[in-house]
């Protein structure tokens, strides 16, 4: 991803330089030809070609600028989900995982029937959940959508932990909605429910 972003910025820079040159030529009404030092006045056809070239470059540059931030946002949302997964399985209790939720976040959790709408309720839920030995969540699938200052990540994960010496596995589906803030990417909405049995 980082290599792609570097390539995109380099390509955008090259397009910008070419665009600048074409705009200067169009404004002067002339063009430099390879192997000749002097400039020739352009006729209507030459100006039309230059105008088309400039418009094409503008469209290409806009496409590069639009695609690169979108791909960067997708990577950020994916990283925010991985941070949640790693924090849940860190064995450090409820405080680090609860800190990933915004103050006004809502959690529709896997193991609690009521909506959790305050930091205290969310912390209490994770306090109980993290008491399970060897707790972790493993992501199987995810689909990311991005929007201004945020993104959503939906998919399937499986909770696992140890109870009475045996591993317990709980397949679930999830949707996280993240908001980009000065403090980083915070969860504003999290829905998680057990996968229903198949037919």
Task: Return the domain boundaries, the chain.
Answer: 2-72, 76-194
What per-residue confidence (pLDDT) applies to 173? Answer: 98
What per-residue confidence (pLDDT) applies to 25? Answer: 61
The answer to whether residues 109 and 97 touch, using CB atoms and an 8 Å cutoff, is no
What per-residue confidence (pLDDT) applies to 199? Answer: 79
pLDDT tens digit sequence for 10-54:
544 555 565 566 555 655 654 444 454 544 455 555 555 554 544
What per-residue confidence (pLDDT) applies to 58? Answer: 46
d(CA 187, CA 83): 11
Work out the pLDDT band at 129, boundaries 50, 70, 90.
very high
What per-residue confidence (pLDDT) applies to 136? Answer: 97
Contacts 24+ apart (CB under 8 A), 182-188: 184/80, 185/76, 185/77, 185/79, 185/80, 185/83, 186/100, 186/101, 186/102, 186/105, 187/80, 187/84, 187/100, 187/101, 187/102, 187/105, 188/101, 188/102, 188/104, 188/105, 188/106, 188/150
Work out the pLDDT band at 109, boundaries 50, 70, 90.
very high
Q: Which residues contact 28 (CB under 8 A, 6 or more apart)?
A: 39
Work out the pLDDT band at 106, boundaries 50, 70, 90.
very high
What per-residue confidence (pLDDT) applies to 198? Answer: 80
Across all residues in the chain, what is the average pLDDT? Answer: 80
What per-residue confidence (pLDDT) applies to 70? Answer: 58
Work out the pLDDT band at 100, boundaries 50, 70, 90.
very high
The answer to whether residues 160 and 170 touch, using CB atoms and an 8 Å cutoff, is yes
Contacts 24+ apart (CB under 8 A), 54-63: 54/19, 54/22, 54/23, 54/26, 57/15, 57/18, 57/19, 57/22, 58/19, 60/15, 61/12, 61/15, 61/16, 61/19
Determine the distance from the C-alpha atom of residue 158 to the mean position of all C-alpha atoms in its chain, rounded to a whole number: 22
pLDDT tens digit sequence for 66-83:
444 556 899 999 999 999
- Is this model's pTM higher than 0.85 or not? no
Work out the pLDDT band at 65, boundaries 50, 70, 90.
very low
Class of domain 76-194: alpha beta
pLDDT tens digit sequence for 142-159:
999 999 999 999 999 999
Top-confidence residue, 36 or 134: 134
What per-residue confidence (pLDDT) applies to 55? Answer: 42
The DSSP line for 143-166 is EEEEETTEEEEEEEEEEEEEETTE
- Cα-only R_g, the chain: 26
């Amino acid at each position: 991803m980082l290599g792609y972003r570097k390539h995109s910025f380099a390509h955008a820079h090259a397009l910008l330089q070419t665009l600048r040159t074409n705009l200067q030529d169009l404004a002067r009404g002339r063009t430099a030809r390879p192997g000749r030092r002097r400039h020739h006045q352009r006729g209507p056809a030459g100006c039309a070609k230059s105008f088309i070239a400039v418009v094409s470059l503008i469209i290409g540059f806009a496409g590069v600028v639009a695609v690169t931030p979108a791909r960067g946002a997708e990577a950020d949302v994916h990283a925010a989900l991985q941070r949640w997964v790693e924090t849940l399985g860190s064995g450090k209790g409820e405080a680090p995982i609860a800190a990933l939720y915004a103050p006004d976040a809502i959690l529709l959790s896997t193991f609690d029937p009521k909506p959790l709408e305050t930091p205290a309720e969310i912390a209490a839920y994770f306090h109980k959940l993290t008491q399970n030995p060897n707790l972790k969540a493993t992501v199987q699938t995810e689909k990311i959508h991005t929007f201004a200052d945020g993104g959503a990540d939906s998919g399937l994960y499986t909770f696992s932990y140890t109870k009475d010496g045996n591993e317990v596995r709980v397949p679930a589906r999830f949707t996280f909605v993240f908001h980009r803030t000065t403090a980083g990417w915070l969860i504003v909405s999290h829905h998680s429910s057990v996968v229903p049995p198949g037919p």
